A and B are shown apart, each in its own frame.
Chain A
Amino acid sequence: MSALRLREVVKHYPSGSETVRAVDGVSLEIVSGELVALYGPSGSGKTTLLLLAAGLMDPDAGEVSFDGRDLAGMSARQSAAYRLNDVGFIFQSFHLMPGASALDNALIKLPVSGHTLREARAMTEPWLVRVGLGERLDHRPHQLSMGERQRVAIARALVGEPSLLLADEPTGNLDSARTKEILELLRDVCHERQVPGLLVTHDSEAMSYVDRTITLRDGRLLEGVYEELPELSTLANS
């Protein structure tokens, strides 16, 4: 059973003469097959939490571990290997290469694992089929809709068969219909593959598709439904 665990994690940034308490004593566990939505207003520390989970940042205090491995104790090389082999990352801005096809965009992780382009294409194609792009393998990003582009990005995150899925505002650039599709897809993937997933979002609709919702405010974690937070209620109603 893979699990992402954060225990009493603290991360502060100096900002001028003040200190920003981005993450302030957060404890969290996401287990296999569980998709968790992380809400929070801008500057609440969501991205910092994501960076800590991805091993891109060490906490000032506390412990971040995945599958029993302490991410803070990893060397840069080990940390890169962790992201390569264990983490699938989905971005709001997709970050697709404009000249490359959907297939070549989705496989971009694999060459770093030592696969040839030929092998990588063979390994990636089923994932594009899985996300519904089996007919659009050779299409370039500008020939795809926004939802399809995000599907390519999701396929790219999945091709390495990650043990952890991290998503940063994956529906931030999508309309409501495409948002629904993507959220369904993420939920299904987490459930099917039995991987833990952390979804950073502003989107109120995500609630319906995730297994659990947590909220970060001023660096502190608030477990529970977002309607309890007036600021997010306003956001949802808008």
Chain B
Amino acid sequence: MNSALLGLRPSMLVFLYRRRLRAHPVQELLAGAGIAIGVALVFGVLLANAGLTGSTERLVRALSGSARLTLLARSPAGFPEALTGRVRALPGVRVATSVLRENMIVEGPSGRQPVQLIGVSPSLSSLGGISQQELGNGALLLSGGLGLPGGVAETIGARRGTRVRVIGNGASHSLGVGAVITSESVKALAGSPVAVALLPVAQRLAGRRGRVTQTLVVPAPGRTAQVANEMRALAGGQLDVESADHELQLLSQATTPNRQSTSLFSAISIMVGFLLALNAMLLTVPERRRFIAELRMQGYDQRQILLMLAFQAVALGLVASVLGVVLGDVLARTLYHQAPSYLAVAFPIAAEQSLSIGLAVAAIACGVLATVLASLSPVLDLRPGLPADAVFRDAGPSGGLLTVAAMRWCGLAGLVMIVLVGALVAIVPAATIFGGVALAVATVLLVPPMLAGVAGWFPRLSAGSRSGAVILAASELRAISTRSVALGAIVALAVYGSVAIGGARDDLLNGIETATAQYHSTAALWVADGSNVFNTDGFPATVTKRLARVPAVSSVRVYRGGLIDIGSRRLWVRARPVGDPTMFEASQLISGDFTHAQALIRQGGWAAVSSGFAREHGLLVGSRLRLPTPRGLASLRVAALTTNSGWPGGTVTLSARDYSRWWGSAEATALELGLHSGVSPAAGAGAVRSALGPGTGLLVQTSAQSAARADASAREGLRTLSDISTMLLIAAALAVAAALSTTVWQRRARLASLKIQGYHAGQLWLGLLLESVVMIAVGSLVGAVVGVYGHALAAHWLTITTGFPAPFSIGAGHVLLTFALVTAIASVVISLPGMAAARVPPRMSLQE
């Protein structure tokens, strides 16, 4: 077992590594910590990304089971349940089962949560999936109660048997919890924001007696296409026929901007992670080079030394990467555990991280590879012709000094990349994410020349200074080594990512805030379903008359809206009453004449559509638009192009009258209330709530409250980006501070010599602090400048490619805050070890 490899027994490799660990435990610990942090960053971001759609994917797949096709309603009002029977009777159909899905709120003893109520038939059990595990023959269906996933039950404080309120469609119902679905029983449902009930129960709760929104179909083998055609004929152009997992395509489109943004962060995290590993390994270079020289002088050959280096790198990389994966999992579960709530209006989405073996293995492999690559620099000592003990005569810093030519080439390459990225994104806006990654590389390339420039400029600036600390810092800064570049690059990358994506996020939030403020400004009060910031959940409009009789209310207008699926997009349909002061938000106009477009929409037969959707379908102002509605294809013309008002799927804005006509629905999805002059919004809201009574499922809000709720939802949706950005900054600042502290610690002998020459501890400490702050500030500056450029490109991409409202604003406050945060954290952290190093006893510089 203990056979020799290249003359070295494995036990000898272990012995040598143990010797190293005993001799330099702190350096090895720091190196391991750097690698672990890098892997944690990468793994956490990847996991958060995967978790965003994971729960929905599991839910959709579990619900559909073996179904291949689905008949889908084009509005929450659904279609008659009897249609499922007709589908079942089609030749080639093996199973057809009805499903009703409706957004509701469940309220328990300790809270409330928006959920998607899923009503299922006993025949669902024949599809396999979740039904076979629990729903088809378990206690839930027999009980006639509500099935709640463990997460939802915990949030609202419900257990089996607890009576909860189910609010939706303008009404509220009390119901017992029949089952709490735990991960052991139905894993797919356990983390989803859903509630499950028997179809008749769900129909009663949703106020949709005899109606369903979906029929899941299992065709006979080889007859899928034929069945689909038959179903289309049955649908009569008023229902959609899609593959059973079609919703996943819609979700994928809706989460694309979020996914791409976090992908950019993933790429930056990978780079930061590698640099952290590289830097951490560079800390150990001096010792390892001396150790290699000793081994060579003892007679070890090059291959044996390479084997030993590889073994040590793999061992360290493996242990640190496994630790990093655990840390990343914790990060993803705690910090990044945020589901964008605005998506929950359209999809049963929940951020749910579960440790992915594939991702974990990939992250560990990356960590080990980075460690091996980062530990290669001592191998340079094995070059032919180099004396074995060359290291003992080396006066350069560990990691080697960068030559002026190398730095110039780096700078040139960085600038060329920046120019090329600008040109590429101008021609192909969709390549912005790739451009963002290329800019991150350019950021790294620009660090060496910038450091060199500042190091050259600093002594000139300090030529008149009489401060020993300043001159000391100026002299030390001139050693531009691989290590100092790696340190600067880590800071630069973190700041770049934060400024670029943080800036774009701020633009988006500003754009959405402007849009929501104008969207809600058409009424003093909004009455709508409690959970839906997009006003797409219907309720009977019968309440209108009651509200119109409230003395404070001057007018009641019925707003209608919904979601329709076109291709891979789930579009937000906004149907405004013609009495509204504006039919769409002036700030969101991209193309067309605002006043004329409004007049056209009021007149009927015209709509404003979002630019991303319009481009995808070749629509211009004046073009004919065909919308699939519950009454067939609506033929409308495009009055204007707008942004998507914050909904990634895109928007269509038409008049409520057109909507009623094409959707065939008298339901309201919101009521816009005007108030008599002299009535404050708060007083008006109070009066309206009284009129609705305590049992209502409707929420009454002032215009400002409604806008604030929508803004909060948008902010929450983008919170993961903020969290990743902050985490990246803090990790980078701390890692750089730790690495700088080690560097300073390794310089104690030289500091001691300066003490003998008359420097006192305070001067040395100030010099160290100044040198560190300058290095971090240079990295931050490069990151901030390229970050602002990246931010401009990202804002352009958001506006042009995705159609989001994201007007570019440089966000100097955010840039300065990021710059200051990184510099301050790193400076504060290194000040203590710097002080300790400056207190080094002078005798340390002497040889005993």
In A1-55, the 8 Å CB interface with B consists of 42-43, 47, 50-51, 54
Are B463 and A108 interface neighbours, CB within 8 A?
no
Residue A193 CB within 8 A of the other chain: no
In the complex, which residues 451-495 of chain B have their Cβ closer than 8 Å to any Cβ of chain A? Answer: 455, 459, 462-468, 470-472, 474-481
B754 touches A117 (CB 8 A): no
- Known contacts A100-B476, A112-B758, A117-B463; decide if A168 and B846 are in contact (CB<8 Å): yes
Instruction: Select A93's contact among B477, B478, B847, beta carbons within 8 Å.
Output: B847
In the complex, the answer to whether A99 meets B756 with C-beta atoms within 8 Å is no
Known: A80-B758, A117-B462, A156-B757. A93 touches B475 (CB 8 A): no
A168 to B, closest residue via Cβ: B846
Given contacts A98-B396, A108-B475, contact A117 B464 (CB under 8 A): yes
Give bound CA distance, A81 to B757, whole Å: 9
Q: Is A180 close to B, CB under 8 A?
A: no
Residues of A contacting B847 in the complex (Cβ-Cβ under 8 angstroms): 47, 91-93, 168-169, 172
Q: Which of the 9-residue segments A128-136, A138-146, A181-189 touches chain B?
A: A138-146
Q: B665 in the interface, Cβ–Cβ < 8 Å?
A: no
Residues of B contacting A80 with CB < 8 Å? 758, 760
- Return chain B residues, CB-CB under 8 Å to A116: 463-466
Q: Are B846 and A99 in contact (CB under 8 A)?
A: no
Q: Which of A56, A140, A149 contacts B842 (CB 8 A)?
A: A56
Q: Tell me, yes or no, whether A105 is within 8 Å of chain B by CB.
A: yes
Q: Which residues of B contact A98 (CB under 8 A)?
A: 395-397, 401, 479, 481
Check if B252 is an interface residue, CB within 8 A of chain A. Answer: no
- What CA separation (Å) do A43 and B847 show in the bound complex? 11
A69: CB under 8 A from chain B?
no
A212 in contact (CB, < 8 A): no
Whether A96 pairs with B846 at a CB distance below 8 angstroms is no
Q: Tell me whether A47 and B472 are in contact (CB under 8 A).
A: no
Establish whether residues B395 and A144, one from each chain, have CB atoms under 8 Å apart when the complex forms.
yes
- What residues on B are CB-neighbors of A47 within 8 Å? 843, 846-848
Contacts of A191 on B, CB cut-off 8 Å? none
Report chain B residues within 8 Å CB of A51.
Answer: 842-843, 846
Taking the nearest CB of chain B, how far is it from the CB of A73, in angstroms? 19
What is the bound-complex CA distance between A80 and B462, given in angstroms? 24
Report the minimal beta-carbon distance from B448 to chain A, rounded to whole angstroms.
Answer: 13
- B461 and chain A: residue at smallest CB distance: A117
Task: State the CA gap A99–B401 with chains docked (Å).
Answer: 8
Q: Is A226 an interface residue (CB 8 A)?
A: no
Residues in A41-78 with C-beta less than 8 Å from chain B? 42-43, 47, 50-51, 54, 56-57, 77
Instruction: Evaluate contact between A99 and B476: CB separation under 8 angstroms.
Output: yes
In the complex, which residue of chain A has the Cβ closest to the Cβ of B763?
Answer: A112
Q: Which residues of B contact A87 (CB under 8 A)?
A: 756
Kindly state whether residue B753 has any CB partner on chain A within 8 Å. yes
- In the complex, whether A89 has a CB less than 8 A from a CB of chain B is yes
CB pair A104–B845 under 8 Å, yes or no, is: no
Q: Is B545 an interface residue (CB 8 A)?
A: no
A220 adjacent to chain B (CB < 8 Å): no
A140 CA to B455 CA, complexed, in Å:
14
Q: Report A-chain residues with C-beta under 8 Å of the C-beta of B753.
A: 89, 91, 93, 95
Contact with A along B382-424 (1 / 0, CB 8 A): 0000000000011111000100000000000000000000000
A94 at the interface (CB under 8 A from B): yes
* Distance between B396 CB and nearest chain A CB, rounded to angstroms: 4
Let me know if B749 is at the binding interface, CB within 8 A. yes
Q: Does residue B750 face the partner (Cβ distance < 8 Å to A)? A: yes
CB distance from A119 to the nearest CB of B (A): 9
Are A99 and B468 neighbours in the complex by a CB distance under 8 Å?
A: no
Determine the residue in chain A with the shortest Cβ distance to B462.
A117
Contact partner, A56, options B397, B464, B756, B763, Cβ 8 Å: B756
Bound together, the chains give a CA A177 to CA B286 distance in angstroms of 28
Task: Find A111's partner among B396, B455, B466, B750 (CB 8 Å cutoff).
Answer: B466
Cβ A83 vs Cβ B757 within 8 A: yes
> Is B759's CB within 8 Å of the partner chain A?
yes
Q: Return chain B residues, CB-CB under 8 Å to A144.
A: 395
With both beta carbons as reference points, the residue of chain A lying nearest to B474 in the complex is identified as: A117
A91 in contact with B395 (CB, 8 Å): no
- Choose from A91, A113, A156 the contact partner of B846 (Cβ within 8 Å): A91
* Smallest CB separation, A1 vs chain B (Å): 24
Residues of A within 8 A of B758 (CB): 80-81, 83-85, 109, 112-113
Task: Please tell me if the beta carbons of B846 and A111 are within 8 angstroms of each other in the complex.
Answer: no
Is A146 a contact partner of B846 (Cβ separation < 8 A)? no
Q: Which of B401, B463, B757 contacts A118 (CB 8 A)?
A: B463
Does A114 sit at the interface, judged by CB under 8 A? yes
Centre residue among A43, A91, A173 by max chain B CB count within 10 A: A91
Max chain B C-beta neighbours (<10 A), residue from A81, A93, A101, A149: A93
Query: CA–CA, A111 to B401, complex, Å?
Result: 26
- The smallest beta-carbon distance between B624 and chain A, in angstroms, is 70
- A175 CA to B462 CA in the complex, in Å? 38
State which of A57, A77, A104, A117 has its C-beta within 8 Å of the C-beta of B465: A117
Task: Tell me whether A105 and B475 are in contact (CB under 8 A).
Answer: yes
Per-residue A-contact encoding for B747-767, CB less than 8 Å = 1, 0 else: 001100110111110010000
Q: In A208-236, which residues have CB < 8 Å from any B CB?
A: none
Interface centre among A98, A116, A144 (most CB of B within 10 A): A98
Query: What chain B residues lie within 8 Å of A111 (beta carbons)?
Result: 465-468, 470-472
**Residues of B close to A104: CB separation below 8 A:** 459, 475, 478
Q: How far, in angstroms, from A109 to B759 measured CA to CA in the complex?
A: 8
Contact A99 B480 (CB under 8 A): yes
Contact A149 B395 (CB under 8 A): yes
**Distance of A43 Cα from B846 Cα, bound (Å):** 13
Residues in A whose Cβ lies below 8 Å from that of B481: 98
> In the complex the two chains form, is A117's CB within 8 Å of B394's CB?
no
CA distance A29 to B531 in the complex (A): 93
Q: Chain A residues near B846: list those with CB within 8 A.
A: 47, 50-51, 91-92, 168
Please measure, in the bound complex, the distance between the C-alpha atom of A83 and the C-alpha atom of B843, giving whole angstroms.
14
Residue from the set A47, A111, A172 with the largest chain B CB neighbour count within 10 Å: A111
Q: Could you tell me the distance between the alpha carbons of A77 and B763 in the complex, rounded to whole angstroms?
A: 13
B750 touches A95 (CB 8 A): yes
Q: Which residue of the partner chain B has the closest CB to A95? A: B753
Q: Pick the contact of B749: A54, A85, A95, A118 (CB < 8 A).
A: A95
Cross-chain contact B475 with A56 (CB below 8 angstroms): no
Which residues of chain B in 183-215 are interfacial with respect to chain A, using CB atoms and an 8 Å cutoff? none
CB B456 to nearest CB in A, in angstroms, measures: 11
Q: How far is the CA of A209 from the CA of B464 in the complex (A)?
A: 41
Closest to A104 in B: B475
Q: What residue in chain A is nearest B394 (Cβ atoms)?
A: A142
What is the minimal beta-carbon distance from B843 to any residue of chain A, in angstroms?
6
Q: How far is the CA of A113 from the CA of B468 in the complex (A)?
A: 8
C-alpha gap A53/B588 in the complex (Å): 80
Residue in contact with B464 in the complex, picked from A93, A97, A118, A168, CB distance below 8 Å: A118
A81: chain B residues at CB < 8 Å are 758
Q: Which chain B residue shows the least CB distance to A77? A: B760
Inter-subunit contact B756/A54 (CB<8 Å): yes
Q: How far is the CA of A149 from the CA of B393 in the complex (A)?
A: 11
Whether B468 pairs with A112 at a CB distance below 8 angstroms is yes
Contacts of B749 on A, CB cut-off 8 Å? 93, 95
Whole-angstrom distance between the alpha carbons of A96 and B842 in the complex? 15
Residue of B nearest to A109 (CB): B757
Kindly list chain A residues whose C-beta atoms are within 8 Å of the C-beta of B475: 97, 99-100, 104-105, 108
A21 smallest CB distance to B (angstroms):
16
Question: Can you report 30 A-B residue pairs in the complex whose CB atoms are below 8 A from each other?
Answer: A47-B843, A47-B846, A47-B847, A51-B842, A54-B756, A57-B843, A83-B757, A84-B757, A91-B845, A96-B395, A97-B476, A97-B479, A98-B397, A98-B479, A99-B478, A99-B479, A100-B479, A111-B465, A111-B467, A111-B470, A112-B763, A114-B466, A116-B465, A117-B465, A120-B471, A140-B401, A141-B395, A141-B396, A172-B847, A173-B393
Sample of 8 further A-B pairs with CB below 8 A, known A85-B758, A91-B847, A156-B757: A51-B842, A77-B760, A81-B758, A98-B397, A99-B475, A99-B478, A149-B395, A172-B847
Q: Closest 9 A-B residue pairs measured CB to CB?
A: A99-B479, A84-B758, A99-B478, A95-B753, A141-B395, A100-B475, A142-B396, A111-B471, A111-B468
